[in-house]
Structure 1
Amino acid sequence: MRIAVDAMGGDNAPQAIVEGSIRAAKEFKDITIVLYGKQHMIQKYINEELENIEIVHTDEKIESEDDPVRSIRRKKQASMVMAARSVKEQENDALFSAGNTGALLASGTLIIGRVKGIDRPGLLATMPVMADKQDAFNLLDVGANADSKPNNINQYATLGTYYAKFVRGIDNPRVGLLNNGTEENKGNEVTKEAYKLLKENDAVNFIGNVEARELLNGIADVVVTDGFTGNAVLKTIEGTALSMVKLIKESIMNNGLKAKMGGLLLKDSLSNLKDVLDYSKHGGAVLLGLKAPVVKTHGSATSEPVYQTLKQIREMLSSHVVEDLVKYYEGENIEEKE
């Protein structure tokens, strides 16, 4: 399994990308990580020789402020573009970047290509859950398509179901439609029509409408919505988690010796809470609906999220989830996995 990595993408590139890649390469000997970027900058952070890390030198990089489509067409030698092209040409099996999100979406769609039958690929994120029997749920679309049609949302449900089943190991994933109420007649015209399509979709276990306040309680395994709403929800959850940890820490530090002593006693519990709220431990956001895995992690990612994302990509490749989706949408029968 070969993973093409845009080593120049992200705020902390190439150091964080290289360090996370080295950790993954040491732990998983069945993957080869191919780092695309300026060789002298990448080599600076590699202090040992690893058989399953390769470097492909590139002269350009796509900046965060670059226009997505224009940049991938004009910067042919950019690290992201060359990595995407290597996947299209089947030199590598998956693409990973922490760089410009729009450019990565364009690279995935225009270079690697959509699965036949998918109108618009959706960006899937894995988010934490506070329930005892469930550690996460999948939310999509979280930003690939600001304006989604009912049929797009219905396809997201099928894509999310395959991911939850074959990558996360959930036998019969519960799919919920994010809405402003649980009743069937709730929502706008898009969600009402999407509800009808989801009820008729035999490929998913549709449980109806779900409200945003129930997401972290494990109401569903997969939650589908349009990209504008999904992105807003994703950032709200991220921001709330960071604010909660900060608020607890400030409350302990600003309320005298007794609070600090209590905080010391609760140190392990608070550390566990922080781990639960840390969405980066679940990997990056997956652009589902393409002919190969394309995964994006946060632009400010450190080596830990990079490692977790490479681990996630390895699981995707091992499960053959993309191949199964291609077969499904091309009308072939998918053999039951043991």
Structure 2
Amino acid sequence: MRIALDVMGGDNAPDAILDGGLNAAEVLSDDDQLVLIGDEEIIREGLREAGLHNDSRFVIEATTQVIEMGDSPVTALRAKPDSSIVKMGWLGSAKKAKDQHCQAIISAGNTGACVAAAQMSMRRLPGVHRPGIAIVLPTFHGPVVVCDVGANPEPKPSHLYQYSIMAGVYAEKVLGIENPKVGVMNIGGEEGKGTPLVKETSRLCREDETLNYAGNVEGRELFNGKANVVVTEGFTGNVVLKLAEGLSAGIFQTITREAMEIDMDLAMRFEPVVKSIYKKHDYHEYGGAPLLGANGLCMICHGSSEARTITNAIKKAKMYHELKVNDAIIEALAEHEGGEKSGDQ
């Protein structure tokens, strides 16, 4: 398997990203290749320091430009053709890259630019209307897949309906959740509530008897086990994601501080428990979020990714590829008619 890594994308690039890629040496087989995209001198020096400069599993793809986190995605793709994100997207296209094709591309850079590059170069899987980013939220009742969290802020009902199918496949194949319960993010549980987009999406999901439809899901119900998969438009999904991250970090900080103020010995005894729980809720452990529906695998990592985030993203990319998730998505969309019954693509 060939995996392309954007070394220059992310708040901690290039050092943390490169380190994460090099640390993946332990999970790469002899048949794997990790294509490191970015400043050639920086990458070459990193390989030398890690003692991997003669390791054929690591390949350098030199670029001279960087798309910054604040750049306008489409404008930046056109203005910076020799950027790491543009080259990454090109390598992800079997049609364009041919013998240089990478089965997975990974970046912690500008999300909008990553999504645009993937869609322009890799295109979409057969039957897919719009790709969506799927993230995993850890909860007391098990992981919950939320789609979309930023790729498609102004979707149509048919897009969200397809997310319910694609995210359901992801939950079943990667997370091992059999016949996942699917819900639609809404401001209330009643079917009559919500925007026209939400109401129509709910109708499409409800009328599909092959979906294990759980109904509307309020924000608080994300964490109580009502659904294993929750679909929403990219704007709301992104807000939910970042709210959950901030709340999780704040709760653990508060617990630690309160325990230390009450009894330092208690805090020291409690520390292993807090660390264990935090690890289960730490997005760095989950690596990246797949862009479901892309014709290939585009793994989008958090902008503040650390080395271990990238290493875990590479592990997840290999798993996604080996489980043939995209083949399962194509098959599932064909079985569900891909949302065509809505007539709204």
The TM-score normalised by the length of structure 1 is: 0.91
Tell me the equivalent position of 1:95: 105
Tell me the equivalent position of 2:302: 298
Tell me the equivalent position of 2:340: none
Q: Aligned in 2, Cα 1:270/1:147: closer, same or farther, shift over 3 Å?
A: same
Tell me the equivalent position of 1:33: 34
| 1:31–1:314 Cα contact (<8 Å) kept | no
Tell me the equivalent position of 2:267: 263
2:258 to 223, 226, 251: 251
Q: Aligned in 2, Cα 1:203/1:13: closer, same or farther, shift over 3 Å?
A: farther
- Aligned pair 1:286/2:290, yes or no? yes
Tell me the equivalent position of 2:132: 122
CA drift of 1:226 comes to: 1.2
Q: Aligned in 2, Cα 1:270/1:107: closer, same or farther, shift over 3 Å?
A: same
Inter-partner Cα distance in structure 2 for 1:157 and 1:202? 13
CA drift of 1:328 comes to: 4.7
2:51 to 30, 48, 56: 48
Tell me the equivalent position of 1:81: 86
Tell me the equivalent position of 1:313: 317
- Aligned pair 1:207/2:198, yes or no? no
Query: Please, which moves more after superposition, 293-302 or 68-77?
Result: 68-77
| 1:114–1:289 Cα contact (<8 Å) kept | yes
Inter-partner Cα distance in structure 2 for 1:204 and 1:25? 40
Q: CA RMSD in A?
A: 1.9
Give the unaligned 5+ runs of structure 2. 338-345
| 2:165–2:333 Cα contact (<8 Å) kept | no
Q: Percent identity?
A: 35
| 2:162–2:333 Cα contact (<8 Å) kept | no
Structure 1 residue runs of 4 or more that deviate by more than 3 Å after TM superposition: 326-333
Query: Please, which moves more after superposition, 203-212 or 283-292?
Result: 203-212
Which amino acid counterpart does residue 273 of structure 1 have in structure 2?
I
Tell me the equivalent position of 1:336: none
1:174 to 181, 204, 219: 181
Tell me the equivalent position of 2:326: 322
Which amino acid counterpart does residue 213 of structure 2 have in structure 1?
F
Tell me the equivalent position of 2:192: 185
**1:83 is paired with a residue of what secondary structure?**
helix
**2:137 is paired with a residue of what secondary structure?**
strand
| 2:92–2:118 Cα contact (<8 Å) kept | no
| 1:15–1:42 Cα contact (<8 Å) kept | no
Q: Aligned in 2, Cα 1:74/1:182: closer, same or farther, shift over 3 Å?
A: same
CA drift of 1:128 comes to: 0.8
| 2:63–2:83 Cα contact (<8 Å) kept | yes
Q: Aligned in 2, Cα 1:220/1:330: closer, same or farther, shift over 3 Å?
A: closer
Equivalent pairs counted in the alignment come to: 327
Which amino acid counterpart does residue 147 of structure 2 have in structure 1?
L
Give the unaligned 5+ runs of structure 1. 334-338
| 2:27–2:315 Cα contact (<8 Å) kept | no
- Aligned pair 1:145/2:148, yes or no? no
Which amino acid counterpart does residue 51 of structure 2 have in structure 1?
E
Tell me the equivalent position of 2:168: 161
CA drift of 1:327 comes to: 4.7
Inter-partner Cα distance in structure 2 for 1:52 and 1:332? 40
